[in-house]
Amino acid sequence: MIQVEKVQDKHALKAFIQFPSSLFSDDPHWIDPLTVEREEHLSKKNPGTDHITWQAWIAKKGETVVGRITAQTDTLHRELYGPDTGHFGMIDAIDDPEVFDALFAAAETWLKSQGAHNITGPFSLNINQESGLLIDGFDTPPSALMPHGKPYYASHLERLGYTQGIDLLAYWMKRTDLFFSPSLTRLMDQVRKKVTLRPLNRKKFAEEMQVLREIFNSGWQNNWGFVPFTEREFDIMGDQLKYLVPDDMIHIAEVDSVPCAFIVGLPNINEAISGLHGRLLPFGWAKLLWRLKVSGVRTARVPLMGVRQEYQFSRIGPIIALLLIEALRDPFAKRNIDSLEMSWILETNTGMRTILERIGAEPYKRYRLYEKQIQAE
């Protein structure tokens, strides 16, 4: 018998957070997230909870946890897409159809009670956090703030009536393999005369973060499932980036002194926390500090990049994106960062995909966002 229990106390939350560690114990590519980070993510400290209402469940066989899931609604999403939208996320389970059936039955029943019948996911907890179900690329570890999964997840979701909404791609490139053809270089040199690239101004950090937020919300507003970042979300993100990202790994592009695009290069935190088993105590914090500040990490991820809407279909828009990518090359070289993940990129974003593939990047992971219509109560 499968029992599904709501996560309603600290004990159940601990079981919810720790379950993936046992599920992926035989997966050499699994990296335990920091427990304290997951606890904060699933608490009021997560600024997304200002507009997200969520519920989590764990599935048990006897006393053994065999699965987990969340369901959530997002008022910002509903303002854009209608009051009948809802989401699921953080799905992990053993390869057992009864477990998946029970978890999704609980999630869908709760979503119906919230008036939702157009369901999308997985999100942890919305599209601006961890998104998508890993479909391809199980043979490498996930980069920072990207999900991992089991190959059998997709078949269980599809059996339950979930269909492809859109796919997200992660691109991988080696710093030394970046190649700008003579024709691209000429275009970049022409645009460089009109565009000013500068690193983040730490003396105006809070103001700069809101500039990035405005650019991101402008550039992404027409994308599938877009939900705008709030000021508080970017404030808190800025508090984190302040300690994790050097100033010269955040670049802003300006045209006539007006910010029009940006890029953020994040040292791969997953590389730094590998082997800590989610713990910062008793010595995990020291190892993390050593890896981030002393020994360094060899990989990075671009989790945030944006070009204002008015430039995206202009002649110089794609070239500005190239100039921003190029701007990270020297800061990465200075820190011995060898490789970079660009993620995520919508499969339908042919402009960005073409740019990345022309300079030597290759898609190496694919994530799927699913959708399903359920009968609302």
Q: Which residue has the tokens 């010269």?
A: 248
Question: Can you list the positions of beta strands (E) in the chain?
Answer: 2-6, 52-61, 64-74, 85-93, 118-121, 123-124, 130-131, 133-136, 163-174, 195-199, 250-255, 258-267, 299-307, 339-346, 362-373
134, 139, 145, 146: CA torsion to nearest 10: -20
Q: Cα separation of 197 and 208, whole Å?
A: 14
Q: Cα separation of 115 and 20, whole Å?
A: 30
What is the residue-averaged pLDDT of the chain?
A: 93
314 has a pLDDT exceeding 90: no
Radius of gyration of the chain from its Cα atoms, rounded to whole angstroms: 21
Superfamily (CATH) of domain 173-367: Gcn5-related N-acetyltransferase (GNAT) (3.40.630.30)
* Tens digits of residue pLDDT in 251-288: 999 999 999 999 999 999 999 889 888 887 767 777 77
269, 272, 274, 280: CA torsion to nearest 10: -90
106 has a pLDDT exceeding 60: yes
Domains 2-166+369-373 and 173-367 share a fold: yes
Q: Cα separation of 225 and 155, whole Å?
A: 23
> Which of residues 181 and 55 earns the better pLDDT score?
55
Q: Cα separation of 321 and 323, whole Å?
A: 5
Q: Cα separation of 179 and 182, whole Å?
A: 9
Q: How far is CA 330 from CA 79, 175, 197, 327, 350, in A?
A: 42, 9, 14, 7, 27
93 has a pLDDT exceeding 90: yes
pLDDT grade, residue 351 (50/70/90)?
A: confident
- What is the identity of the amino acid at 351? G
Count CA within 13 A, CB hemisphere, residue 79: 8
Q: Cα separation of 111 and 107, whole Å?
A: 6
What pLDDT is attached to residue 173? 95
What pLDDT is attached to residue 294? 63
Regarding beta strands 64-74 and 52-61, do their DSSP bridges make them parallel or antiparallel, or are they unpaired?
A: antiparallel
Query: What are the structural domain ranges in the chain?
Result: 2-166+369-373, 173-367
DSSP assignment of 269-281, as one string? HHHHHTTSTT--T
Q: Cα separation of 118 and 291, whole Å?
A: 43
29 has a pLDDT exceeding 70: yes
Across residues 190-208, what is the average pLDDT?
92
Burial class (CB in 10 A: 0-12, 13-18, 19+), 251: buried
3-state secondary structure of 311: helix
Across residues 32-43, what is the average pLDDT?
93
3-state secondary structure of 62: coil
Top mean-pLDDT range of 158-167, 177-186, 300-309: 158-167
pLDDT grade, residue 17 (50/70/90)?
A: very high
* Tens digits of residue pLDDT in 107-141: 999 999 999 999 999 999 999 999 999 999 999 99
What pLDDT is attached to residue 286? 76
Q: Cα separation of 301 and 156, whole Å?
A: 30
DSSP assignment of 313-326, as one string? TSSSHHHHHHHHHH
Q: Cα separation of 232 and 89, whole Å?
A: 23
377 has a pLDDT exceeding 70: no
Across residues 23-30, what is the average pLDDT?
96
Could you tell me which of 362, 306, 346, 70 has the C-alpha nearest to residue 225?
346
Across residues 56-79, what is the average pLDDT?
98
Q: Cα separation of 349 and 80, whole Å?
A: 21
- Cα 344 to its chain centre, rounded Å, is 7
Q: What is the DSSP letter of 38?
A: H
pLDDT grade, residue 25 (50/70/90)?
A: very high
Across residues 221-248, what is the average pLDDT?
90
**Does a cis peptide bond (omega within 30 degrees of 0) precede residue 122?**
yes
Q: Which residue has the tokens 């300006």?
A: 254
DSSP assignment of 205-259, as one string? HHHHHHHHHHHHHHHHTTSTT--PPPHHHHHHHHHHHHHHS-GGGEEEEEETTEE
pLDDT grade, residue 26 (50/70/90)?
A: very high
What CATH number belongs to 2-166+369-373? 3.40.630.30
pLDDT grade, residue 240 (50/70/90)?
A: confident
> Picking from 69-73, 79-83, 333-337, which range would have the lowest pLDDT averaged per residue?
333-337
